[in-house]
Structure 1
């Protein structure tokens, strides 16, 4: 039933412009957010923002937390990957777009109530129906604070946010219950199946790079935290032991660079 409904929606969308579809009364919140993510993965950020903003006008949901998160990630991607024309959508420059994303990521009004409401009311829809926006928001905030700490050489903030990101990774990496974080959870793909390959491995590689950048050592084992994290997540390339005598520092750097490319690590500095 859900898949059939979504297929109908996609077919209908392909026959109508955004403006024509928006004017149709009774647009569902969940449809609007789903269309927003589809446009997002199509790299059509203007259309994505139009749909996420349209979700505020929906008749079936008063809690718009997941739409705020969609807008935040759209601004975030514009800041990092957008064209000059797309940068205009959130202020005209990279810093303006990052700040706009940050403001949206901060929105947490009635978050618990939103999770409960989506779970209860999103009955006939396949996408944007659960609490995945909570993790998406938390990850977005971590990325923002870490980038800010690096740009301002704020070692204290960077250390604090590395701890926060490690806690996020730990809470979203529980193999026994298959709870690894996936950015695509609850979202449709782009029109041609486009996705963003962000998951717990992406976070682990990004975090390993931060551990290496700050030269962090595990006080218990006296080994590199970066190496141990990659080894724990089976991302250590040809490194099989983190004892100093068992690998070269250059090998660790190369491994992080290789895994960053393969796992779409989000920030290019």
Structure 2
């Protein structure tokens, strides 16, 4: 279910200097992934000066969760874990909780990033940067968009991506939005592009619903080029994502603070 639109300063925002924000990213062998995470962390710090932001990775990159948790504990710092994930799939449901348990960390864990109107804003931003005139309702009305996600073996995660596509079309005036997947089951990007053209879309754009460059975004880019469709960039370090990470942090911190009072 979609939350209300979040302002630049969320209503639940708290003063800097509270628990650290422990950003947990997936990790990748592609160095562009870690560079994107670092840029996103810089955006978060710029929005919330004084807030300690630490990064840990599930795989491929360092530092890993036990290292960062140990450092924070050694410094006597509390923390709120914020997953850098779009959907609540296997990594959010199993890998992150298991890694935190193995590290002996009973930290509050924030929700994943999706769904949120801020993600739709970031998707719009990337399409505008690719050259689409989003200020024109007429352009939106004749443009079909492929929301190109990684894909998941978790049916609930794929259903959540389809819900994002439906909400994006409903609230932003696109002619149509089709979902495609770079892995797992189809449809693939060329299938979705063809479906949009059969449905009468005068223009077709491909918008990666992915956080950082890597193998799957490269696969999506190749498919978009082969289909002669406009290609947007990955979400990356969009300012909307920095705001969303802080909103998730604030909400998880508020819930954790309220929990002792509810159980007292």
Q: Shared topology, TM-score over 0.5?
A: no
So what's the TM-score if we normalise by structure 2?
Answer: 0.28
More helix by share: 1
Larger Rg: 1
More strand by share: 2
So what's the TM-score if we normalise by structure 1?
Answer: 0.28
